[in-house]
Amino acid sequence: MTIINRRRAGAIALAAVLALAGCGGGGSSTQGAGDGGEIDPNATLRFTSAGPIRSLDPALQTSYGGLGYLVLAFDRLTTIDKDDNIVPGLATEWTFAPDGSYLELKLRRDVKFHDGTPFDAQAVKANIERGKTLENSAIKQDLADITAVEVVDDHTVRLQLVKGKGVQLPSVFATNVGMMVSPKAISDPSVDLGNNPGNAGSGPYIVTSFVPNEKVVMKRAPSYWDPNVGRLAGIELQRVPDGATRLRGVQTGQSDLTTVSAANDLVQAQQLADRNVVTMNKVTFRNILGVYLRANQGHLVKPEVRQAIAHAIDPEAISALFSGSCTPYRQLYPAHSWAAMKDYTYPYPYDQEKAKSLIQSVGGAKVTVTFAAGTNTEQPANVIQAALSAVGIEATLNPVPNSENEPRFIAGDFELMVSSSWSPKIDPADTVNTYLLNTYKLATDRSAIESIAVEAANPSLTEQQRAPLYAKIWQTTLEQAWFIPVCQQTVGVVGSPKVLNTDNVPWANIGIWDLRYIAMKK
Amino acid sequence: MLRYAGKRLLAAIPLLFVVPLLVFLLIGLAPGDPAVVLAGDNPTPERVAAIRDQLGLDDPVWERYLRWVGAALQGDLGTSLLSDQRVVDMLTRRMGTTMSLVLFAMVMAVVLGAAMAIVASLRPGGLVDRLVNWLASIAIAVPAFWFGLVLASLFAVSYQLLPAFGFEPLSAGFWPWLSHLILPGIALGLLPAAEVTLQLRSALGQVLRSDYVLNARAKGLSRRAVLFKHSLKNACIPVVTVLGFRVAEVLAGSVTIEIIYNMPGLGSLAVDSVLNRDIPVLLGFVLFSTSVVVVVNLLVDISYGYFNPKVRA
C-alpha cells in the first residue's frame, strides 16, 4: 500500500511555489506579511524560543524541545506539514509489505550532503544502524521495530520489521529519528556532530556556530533540492526562556520571530497585534491539558471515584484561568486528525451533584493531586483540588519539580497527575504505545484494548479502516477515566511585520517549530 | 600586612572545600534527579536507572564528593551532565558577562552611593538630605527584578533607547558592550548604591561632628577640604568593611537580572544547573562564586591599611 498521495504532494508543492511567487494561498500564505512584499534573500532571521538545545547530534536529542534547531540543518526521511500530514522528505514514497514484514522507502535521487557525499540507500542504512547501536542513543527505542536494513538499490531501502510492528515509522521518521547525517561524518571520529556538525547535514541551512543552550547560528546552504525552503541568508536561533522577554524582543525589533504560550503573554501579544506592532498567528496546541489517573492505586481502583473526579472538573473554569486560551476539549485527538472520534459526546460532563452522589455511594475518597510546581499546570491543579474537595473527595496537593513529575508518574509514584503532556502522536499506534499500554501504562485493564490495538496497528490497513478501531480504544480510555481531557492551550507565533509565512510553521502546535518556510520581505 | 593577608588567605581555603560539601549534601536532600532530565521525554524507569548507574549517581555522597575534590585539585571541574562540555570552559565563557554586570553595578553603587551621601551630608537634616534618605529607602525596599522590568519597559520597549535583552562582549565594541549593561546594571546596582548611601551618610555625619573636624574647621579650612581630605577617608572605613558583602549581594542578585535580560552569564547558568540537577556545573559555579567572595574580602582587608594606618602596624 502506498501511503502518500502523489496528487496531494503535488498540490502542496504547487501551493508553496505560488506562495514563493507572491501569490499566497495554500500552505505558505503570506500571513505575517500583511501586504505581502518581495522576499529579501539577504535577510537574517533572529528567532527566539524557550526550547533547550544541548547537542546538535540528532541521535542524542532526548527532548522534543531541541528538534526545531536540528530540522534546518538535517533533512528527514519524511516531514510533517502544518496540518500534521506526513509529506515526503528525503523519501519520496513509503510502502509497507502486504504482510507487514517490511517498509520500503524510495529515496530522492538529487540530494547530496553538504560535504559532497551523495544521499542514497547506504546513507539511510548507516544512519539507522548508528541510531540503533550508538552508545547513549536517544532514538534506539524508536528504531526497535526495525530488525535489519536492506539496500535494494541505490535509491531504495527496505526496513525489515518485527512482526506486526512499525506502522508508526513513517511519522517517526519526520522527527530526529529520520534525520540523515553524512556517512562520511559518521565514520570520521574528528567530526564533533554534537557541537560542530559543519557540513554533515543536507538541510537548507548549515550550522556556523553553536553555544549549547544559548544560540545556534546558521547560513543558507549553497544549494538545496527544495526551492520552497531556505529563503533566508541565515538564521540565528537564540534561547530565551522567559516569554515576556521574548515578546519584548519582537516588540523592540531585537528579534524577528518567537512563540509564546503563557496566557499573559498571549494577551499582550494580541494587544500588540491589534495595534499592528507585531503579527500573531494563533495555533491550537496539539497537547491536551488533563488529568492522568492510575486506576490500580488507592481509591482510584473504584470506577465511581474516577467518574466522580471527571464529573467534578469544570473545563470552563480551567479555561478561565488561561484567559480563555485553553479551549475546553474532551477528546484524545485533535479534531482535524483522522484518528479523532466524529460526533463524540464525553460521558462525564461537569456535574457537581452527580460527582457528589458517586462519592457518597462509595463512602468517600481520598486522592493526592500531583503537578509540576511553577508550571502552567499549577493553577489548574489548585482549581481541580478545590473542585474535588467540593464534591467530598479528600484531595491534597503534591507539587514536585518540573523535571520530576512525568518520570515519577511513569515509574508509578503518583496516583493522579495534572499535566499538559498528553501529546497525541501523528500515528495513533504510537500514542497507544506511549500512554496506554507501555511507558505511562494508563490502561490498567490491558485486555480491554490490547487486541484492538494490535489489529489497529496493522500497516496494511488504511486510515479509514484504522480510525474506528482507535475510536474504540479512545472510548474505553475515556469511559474508564484513565485520562480526563480538559482543554487545549494556544500557541502564538509572534513576528515582526517583515516576517513572511508565520502561518506555516509545522510543529508550532506542539510548542516547537520548523522554520523551513519562513522568509522575510525587503 | 602581607603576613596578615597570607593568614587570611590560608583561613579561607577550608571554605572552598566546605561550601561545595554543603552543596553536595543539600542537592542530595532536594527532590530531583539529573538522570531523569538526561533521559529525555517520557523516560522509562529502566532508562533512568541505566543513566544513574552510568553517572555513578547511586554512589554514596562522600564518595562522589571526594572524587570531585580529587579532580578539582588537579584543575578538573568535570563535565556537564547535560551538555557534556567541560565545566571550566562553560564558566570561562560566561564569566565575562557576569563580571561585566557585577563591575558595572559595583562601580555604580560606589560612585552613585558616595555622591548621594556627600550631597546629603553637606546640609544635615536639610531637604536634600531627607530626599536622599527617602530615595535610598525606596531603592532598598523595591526588589531588583521589579526595577529591571520597569527599566526594560520604559527604556527598551517604550523609548527603544537600549536593548531589551542579551549581552555583547567588549570585543564587539565599547558601546554595544555598555548599552547591554546599562539597564541590567542599574537594576542590579540600585540596592547596593542605596546601602552605600545610607552607610556613608551615617558615617560622614559622625565624622563631621568629631573634634578633629571641628578643629580643622576652626583653623579655617574650607568645607570642601574638610570633607574630602579629612572626613571622607575615615568615613569610608565602615563602608569598605562591608563592600565584600555588597559584591556577594550583587553576585547573587545577578541571577535574577540575568534571567530578566536573558544574559548568558553565570547566574543563568546556575539556575539552569539547579533546575536540571547538573551537579558538576553547580559545583563549579559555587566554587567560583566562593572564590570571588574570598578574594574580594581579602582585598577589602588589605585596603584597610590604606584607610586605617593602625592596621598596617
Q: Which of residues 138-157 of B touch A (CB under 8 A)?
A: 152-153, 156-157
Q: Is the pLDDT of residue B66 over 80?
A: yes
State which residue of chain A sits closest to B81, comparing Cα positions. Answer: A54
Is B277 in contact with A403 (Cβ distance < 8 A)?
yes
User: Model confidence at A62, in pLDDT bands (50, 70, 90)?
Assistant: confident
Q: Which of residues 385-424 of A touch B (CB under 8 A)?
A: 400-404, 406-408, 410-411, 421
- pLDDT tens, residue by residue, A401-415: 887 888 889 989 999
Q: Which of A10, A50, A48, A188 is nearest to A115 (CA)?
A: A188
Q: Which of A313, A314, A310, A308 is nearest to A392 (CA)?
A: A308
- Across the interface, of B262, B264, B275, the residue whose CB is closest to A242 is B262
At residue A500, the pLDDT reads: 95
Q: How far is A108 from chain B (nearest CA, A)?
A: 31
Report the C-alpha gap between A103 and A166 in whole angstroms: 8
Q: Is the pLDDT of residue A6 over 80?
A: no
Is B276 in contact with A252 (Cβ distance < 8 A)?
no
Q: Which of residues 247-266 of B touch A (CB under 8 A)?
A: 259-262, 264
Report the C-alpha gap between B74 and A311 in whole angstroms: 62
Which of A54, A214, A512 to substitute to test the interface with B, most B CBs within 10 Å?
A: A54
Q: How far is B116 from chain A (nearest CA, A)?
A: 32
Report the C-alpha gap between A165 and A99 in whole angstroms: 11
Q: What mean pLDDT do residues B63-75 have?
A: 87
Q: What mean pLDDT do residues B75-79 have?
A: 88
- pLDDT tens, residue by residue, A87-117: 999 999 999 999 999 999 999 999 999 999 9
Q: Is the pLDDT of residue A132 over 60?
A: yes
- Across the interface, of B37, B157, B264, the residue whose CB is closest to A214 is B264
Q: How far is A118 from chain B (nearest CA, A)?
A: 31
- Across the interface, of A138, A242, A407, the residue whose CB is closest to B48 is A407
The mean predicted confidence, pLDDT, of chain A is: 90
Report the C-alpha gap between A194 and A210 in whole angstroms: 9
Is A249 in contact with B164 (Cβ distance < 8 A)?
yes
Is A245 in contact with B262 (Cβ distance < 8 A)?
yes
- Across the interface, of B37, B83, B164, the residue whose CB is closest to A403 is B37
**In degrees to the nearest 10, what's the CA dihedral of B49, B55, B61, B63?**
130
Q: Is the dihedral of CA B185, B191, B195, B197 positive or negative?
A: positive
Phi, psi of A228 (to 5 degrees): -85, -5
Q: Is the pLDDT of residue A3 over 50?
A: no
- pLDDT tens, residue by residue, B197-248: 999 999 988 888 888 888 888 888 888 888 888 888 888 888 887 787 888 8
The grid cell for A214 is 544559548
B166 touches chain A (CB under 8 A): yes
- A195 contact residues in B (CB cutoff 8 A): 85
- pLDDT tens, residue by residue, B139-169: 999 999 999 999 999 999 999 999 999 999 9
Q: How far is B251 from chain A (nearest CA, A)?
A: 21
Residue A15 contacts residue A28 (beta carbons within 8 Å): yes
Q: What mean pLDDT do residues A409-433 have?
A: 94
Q: What mean pLDDT do residues B46-69 have?
A: 82
Q: Is the pLDDT of residue A5 over 50?
A: no
At residue A339, the pLDDT reads: 95
Predicted TM-score (pTM) of this structure = 0.84
Q: Is the pLDDT of residue A290 over 90?
A: yes
Question: What ranges make up the beta strands (E) of A311-392?
Answer: 327-328, 365-372
- A413 contact residues in B (CB cutoff 8 A): none
Residues in CB range of A400: below 8 A, 6 or more apart: A370, A371, A372, A373, A408, B31
Helix (H, G, I), strand (E, B) or coil at A373: coil
* Domains in chain B, CATH or no CATH each: 91-287 (1.10.3720.10)
At residue A36, the pLDDT reads: 60
- pLDDT tens, residue by residue, A179-235: 999 999 999 999 999 999 999 999 999 999 999 888 999 999 998 999 889 999 999
Is B275 in contact with A401 (Cβ distance < 8 A)?
yes
Give the N- to C-terminal CA distance of chain A in Å, as an integer: 45
State which residue of chain A sits closest to B36, comparing Cα positions. Answer: A407
Q: How far is B149 from chain A (nearest CA, A)?
A: 9
- B44 contact residues in A (CB cutoff 8 A): 410, 439
- Across the interface, of B37, B85, B156, the residue whose CB is closest to A252 is B156
For residue B193, the tally of other CB atoms under 10 A from its CB is 28
Q: Is the pLDDT of residue A22 over 80?
A: no
- A177 contact residues in B (CB cutoff 8 A): none
- Between B80 and A358, the more confident residue is A358
B48 touches chain A (CB under 8 A): yes
The ipTM of this complex is: 0.78
Is A440 in contact with B164 (Cβ distance < 8 A)?
no
Q: What mean pLDDT do residues A137-158 have?
A: 95
Do the strands A483-488 and A327-328 form a parallel or antiparallel pair, or are they unpaired?
A: antiparallel
B162 touches chain A (CB under 8 A): no
- B42 contact residues in A (CB cutoff 8 A): 406, 410, 421, 434, 439-440
Q: Is the pLDDT of residue B75 over 90?
A: no
User: Model confidence at A25, in pLDDT bands (50, 70, 90)?
Assistant: very low
- Across the interface, of B153, B165, B272, the residue whose CB is closest to A249 is B165
Is A212 in contact with B275 (Cβ distance < 8 A)?
no
